[in-house]
Amino acid sequence: MFITAAFLITCLQSIAQQPRPVELHGALRIEGNQMVNKYGIPPQLRGISLSWSLWGGKKYYNPEVINWLTKDFKISLLRASMGVQPDGGYLQNPDEQMKLMTTVIDQSIKNGIYVLIDWHDHNADQHLKESKAFFAIMAKKYSGIPNVIYEIFNEPAEQSWDVIKTYSVEVIKTIRQYDSKNVIVVGSPRWDQEVDIAASDPIKGFNNLVYSFHFYASDPNHQAKLRAKAELAMKQGIALFVTEWGVGESNGNGEFNREKTALWMDWMEKNRLSWANWNVTDKEETTALLMPGASDKGGWKDEHLTEAGKYIREQLRTLNK
Identified catalytic residue from 151, 155, 194, 249:
155
Q: Which residues pair with 120 in a beta bridge?
A: 83
Measured CA angle at 254 (ends 253, 257), to 5 deg: 120
| 3-state SS track over 255-302 | CCCHHHHHHHHHHHHHCCCCEEEEEECCCCCCCCCECCCCCCCCCCCH
Backbone angles phi, psi at 56, to 5 degrees: -70, -25
Distance between CA atoms of 38 and 230, rounded to whole angstroms? 25
303 is catalytic: no
Backbone angles phi, psi at 161, to 5 degrees: -65, -35
Distance between CA atoms of 74 and 318, rounded to whole angstroms? 9
269 is catalytic: no
* 41: DSSP letter: S
Measured CA angle at 260 (ends 254, 262), to 5 deg: 125
8 Å CB contact between 242 and 276 = yes
For residue 212, what is the enclosing H or E element?
strand 209-216
Q: Any residues with CB less than 8 A from the CB of 45 and at least 6 apart, and which? A: 21, 25, 76, 77, 114, 274, 275
8 Å CB contact between 209 and 30 = yes
Identified catalytic residue from 31, 64, 151, 244:
244
Positions marked active-site: 155, 244
